[in-house]
Structure formats: C-alpha cells, structure tokens
Copies of this chain bind each other. A is one copy, B any other.
Amino acid sequence: MNISQAATESLLPAKTIRYYEEIDLVTPARRDNGYREFSSTDIQQLKFIQRSRRLGFSVEECRSLLMLYRDEHRASSDVKAIAREKIIDINERIAELQSLSSRLQSLVEACPGDTSAACPIIDGLAHDA
C-alpha cells in the first residue's frame, strides 16, 4: 500500500507519516522504486498513533504506548501509569485555563466596550492584573 492510501486509512496526512518514519515511530518497507510499502501492521500502528495523539498524548508518549502495544508481555499497570500521568497533566492544564478564562471574564465585564479610551482591560494589563 502506498503512502496516500495509508494516509487515508490512518487519518493522518502523508507528510505526518513521513515525519513519523523519520523519527522512527514507524518503519514501512521500501519497494525497488523507493516507494514506501505499508503493511497492514504498519496501518494498524499508524491508526494507533493517530488515536493516541487525538487523546492528547505527545509523540514521545505515543512512542512509549506503541512499544507497550507491540509488547505481548507488557503489564497493563505500565499503560495505566502513562494514562494517569496524562490525566493529571490535562487536568492541570484545564485548571490553568479556567483561571485565565475567569480573570479575562472579569476584565471584560468591567470594560464599557464603547468608543472611549478608558479601558479596564488595558489598565489591568498595564498595572498588575
């Protein structure tokens, strides 16, 4: 299977697949003409990566997950540990963003939003929020 087909099936852009090969996440075979030849195993793994990325894992985390995916003797506790760390990361990020959102919201509510130059948002940014 050529790269464009692999892209279609894995829901990843061809460019991204080439990049994943460059960083040794996947290693499709090559034909005599230099074209990449994707096996069904390659496709499975690309799909695995695509879904992991979509779930918020970094590419390096995907590499770890992929190694566990390939490892028939893995311990599910190892997978669980990675997922739990990621949940913590994500929840921290959510808390940060919620704080930002509410601070901005306060500023916006205080701003007249008219043609005058007086602006609590600018003031808030200028002198210690």
B115 and A87 form a contact (CB under 8 A): no
**Chain B residues positioned under 8 Å from A14 (CB to CB):** none
Contact B126 A79 (CB under 8 A): no
Judge if A72 is at the interface, Cβ distance under 8 Å.
yes
Whose C-beta in chain B lies nearest to the C-beta of A117?
A: B74
Closest to A101 in B: B90
**Residues of B with C-beta under 8 A to A8:** none
In the complex this chain forms, how many copies of it are found? 2
A19-77 at interface with B (beta carbon < 8 Å): 44, 47-48, 51-52, 54-56, 65, 68-69, 71-77
**Shortest CB–CB separation between residue A83 and chain B, in angstroms?**
5
Pairwise interchain contact B129-A79, C-beta atoms closer than 8 A:
no
Q: Chain A interface (Cβ within 8 Å of chain B)?
A: 44, 47-48, 51-52, 54-56, 65, 68-69, 71-77, 79-81, 83-84, 86-87, 90-91, 93-94, 97-98, 100-101, 103-105, 107-108, 111-119, 121-122, 124-126, 128-129
